[in-house]
Chains A and B, each alone.
Chain A
Amino acid sequence: MDIMLKEVGIDGLYVTASGRLDLDNAVVYGAKIKDFIEDSPEQITNVTLDFSEITFISSFGLKVILELYKQLNGQKGVLKLKNVSEQLKNSFVIVGFDKFLLFE
């Protein structure tokens, strides 16, 4: 899985990834974002996840996103999901994440 993290402005992070957010990849995906935020000299509060290349998300992926949301929410930050396909969005809807996540 390819993951690209890009700083946007002072406090923003834009994550692009391609492939499956599954058992194998989700943890890696989450860890990379977490590390980036921790390593950044600036306080990162706005994270945007680009899903245009993500083909699959399982409960493992959902868990990672929930954890990220909780972390940012604690810092009054914002988590945005971008270009989520209908098929993937359905997974968010099933577990009720669409009620608090921001989709663009």
Chain B
Amino acid sequence: MFKTVKSKILIIAIIMLTVLMFAFGCYTVYSRMKTKQLMVQNYGFSMNEYTERLDDEIIYAENNLNGLALIGNVFYRTDRSIELTNRIITRIFEDYPKNLGGGIWFLPYKIDKSKKYVCFYAYRNKDNKIIIDEKFSSEEYDYPNQEWYKSIISQITPERNIVWTRPYYENLGSYSTMVTAGTGIYVDGELIGIATVDWKIDPVIEELSKIKPMEKTFSMYKRGNEIKNSFALFANEDEDYIIATNDPYLDGEKLIGHSLKEIPWYTSFDKLYSTTYIKYHGQKYVPFARRINNGMILIICIPQKEMFKYVNEFYLLMIIVMLLLGLIIPTLLYLSMNRYIINPIDKLTEIANKISKGEDIQIKLEKPEEFAQLASTYDKMTNHIKAITKEKAKMSSELSIANIIQSSSLPSVFPPYPEKKEFDIFASMEPAKEVGGDFYDFYFVDENKLMFLVADVSGKGIPAALFMMTVKTLISYISQMEHAPKKLIETINRKVCENNRNSFFVTMLSGIIDITTGEMSIINCGHNLPLIKRKDGNYEYLKLKSNIALGVFEDADFEIYETVMKPGDIIFTYTDGITEATKEDDEEFGAERLLNTLNSIEETEIITIAQKMKNSIKEYTQSAPQSDDITMLIFKYNGISEIKTFKQAAIQENYKMFYSWLYDACKEWNLEQDLTYKLDMCAEEIFANIVFYAYPEKNGNIEAKLEKTYNSIIFKFEDDGIEYNPLEKPDPDVTAPPEEREIGGLGIFMIKKMADKISYKRENHKNILTLTFKI
């Protein structure tokens, strides 16, 4: 699936992109985290700033308070002028424009034994005008019994001089949530009263909720600089009361002054200070906790979602862009690769295919440049191939000519000596390549001596074939001059050595047989052992001593094996192309299989033996290509045959003479009486046939030949009368009742029954009928 260049490049691109995207993704995650940290820090800075401002306000309030306390002290110590004191208070309020209200409250009966309530209280009305309110020094208000008063009085000591009350809702003038800071007025170490300053909480809370990051830190936050849904808690942790909260899930007004335990998300200041987020009503909030100078704590919870809204949006955008790039880049890569690489390759492939089919095409490819170069290289290559192909075709035709020359140099007409009945010889060579290194040959070296040989030149192809031709010529030339086998083979070896410049060598098996006596000399020069079959016996390997191959040592000594061939004996010689014929699994045909195959062939006709042998090899090797030349030469010795001839005019008067001739021959050859009778019978029928039918219009002769071979009698009749093939005549019905019997046709029928083989041919205007009888 991923075998093409296209897919491989695509995969590499995808892997690279994945790695890049992963790296970028990691960076994004890291940078997002860092950005968030920076944001949290930035909010922290805003918080610090705000906290400082609160601190300033508190210090401001406390300074104001100290001023009031000093006025109280002065009032006590001086002439106690109410009017003057009111004026001074007014002036102080003018000096502290942020103060909403405050006053001086003396302990009951401290100023005057008759006056329980002495106090001064001023506040800023809606028009920012300072009003001195005198209604608090009344029985009705009874300030010493007010919670805030009691709270302050009970807490102040000379050491801890400023006390903040719990927040309370003031319903007399300002109608708002207040916290009062109070301090004692001491005269000579004695507490004579307290001074208070009111601090309205509502604006603080309101402002706290609008917390925003410092400007210009991240330009992208400018767009929406207010954070929605954040809320604040203002409390005193030490005293465990809530000063104010605008928690959207709680009723802030009711909770004022209550324990911090009533805030579900509140754990402790320290914990919240170090917590990155809290979960509250299914939302994440980032808490910012700060302490204020007077021991109060301030906690602002900002929804994480809101806080990081822009960060998250920014990174989401970034991821989308990256994914799009991840899709677009491989697509572009794929398309451009297709266009600039794959398409030219496909085109080149297509053209190469056409060229390989023999089409004559000029390759035209102008871009991209690399492929244009490749195309021109292709072109050069094609031209080169064309040239080579031409050369090859020429060589191949030369090779086939060489093959023809080589084949024609081996005797190929069988039987080679039809008139020689003493022996049969058949040979064949099937070259593995077009020209082979195997050869065989046979010829008469003198009147009665036939020499035959099979040989295998080392190496294959043209050089081996050329050498083979040389050797073949040498052997046939020398064997005409030298007949003594030992001397002959030594001369051949020497000459082969002389002519051998390329270190070839030749294995050869040769036999020289006297066809009149059957005496045979066999020479084995490093060749495969021949097989011999004696008449009525089985094939056996002839255990010859192997001599050295021809062409190795000039002075090599050769041992000759002598045997006598009896009529009917067969010798089978071959080259290693048979024994080393292999199937696809490399198993060789082998010597034993050769022996068994030969013994399974019942026929004694040597052409049939050769044919069956070839079939067996073919059957064995099946489709495997032939690896070596397959050569075999079969020689069968028949012995001397004797022939008697009779030739007379074809007239009935000569019949007596004819059968006495036959009887004399049978007697001379000691033929069995039964065979003699059969010959007599057939002879008479054919003689009569010729006499009565061959020459209706003229006189003619009858010629009979009786031949005795080692295993048969061949009876041959010739006449030059009218063409007549007696074998075509239908057989008479020998089962018919006598009344229906025809008189004619019985003779031929009887011959057919008696002879072992019968054949007819018309040749040179002669009828030739041949009968064979086995002995």
Contacts and interface: CB of A to CB of B under 8 A. Distances in A.
B129 interface: no
Nearest to A73: B738
Interface stretch (A2-10, A34-42, A89-97): A89-97
Interface string A53-91: 000101110110011011001000000000000010001
Contacts of A100: 737-738
Nearest to B751: A59
Interface in B716-745: 732, 734-739, 741, 743
Interface string B55-76: 0000000000000000000000
Contacts of B750: 58-59, 91, 94-95
Contact of A87 (B659, B674, B736): B674
Interface string B655-695: 11001000000000000011001001100110110000000
A23 interface: yes
B279 interface: no
Given A24-B652, A60-B688, A70-B739, A95 B749 contact: yes
Contacts of A67: 743
B700 interface: no
Interface string A1-36: 000000000000000000000111000000000000
Contacts of A69: 738
Contact of B746 (A24, A62, A70): A62
Contacts of A94: 734, 749-750, 753-754
B568 interface: no
A24 to B, nearest CB: 6
Contact of A23 (B688, B737, B753): B688
A14 B749 CA distance: 30
Contact of A58 (B652, B681, B735, B753): B681
A3 to B, nearest CB: 18
A71 B444 CA distance: 66
B675 to A, nearest CB: 11
Contacts of A73: 738-739
A94 B680 CA distance: 16
Contacts of A87: 673-674, 677
Interface in B638-661: 652, 655-656, 659
B747 interface: yes
A56 B741 CA distance: 22
B735 A59 contact: no
A66 B747 contact: no
A87 B203 CA distance: 159
B747 A58 contact: yes
B738 A59 contact: no
Contacts of A63: 743, 746
Contact of B652 (A23, A70, A95, A96): A23
A100 B738 CA distance: 7
A73 B673 CA distance: 35
Nearest to A100: B738
Interface in B513-541: none
A91 B681 CA distance: 9
Contact of A66 (B652, B677, B741): B741
A100 B749 CA distance: 19
A66 B743 contact: yes
Contacts of A62: 746
Interface of B: 652, 655-656, 659, 673-674, 677, 680-681, 684-685, 687-688, 732, 734-739, 741, 743, 746-747, 749-750, 753-754
Interface of A: 22-24, 56, 58-60, 62-63, 66-67, 69-70, 73, 87, 91, 94-97, 99-100
18 contacts: A22-B655, A23-B655, A24-B652, A58-B685, A58-B688, A58-B747, A58-B750, A59-B747, A60-B684, A62-B746, A63-B746, A67-B743, A87-B677, A91-B681, A95-B734, A95-B750, A97-B738, A100-B738
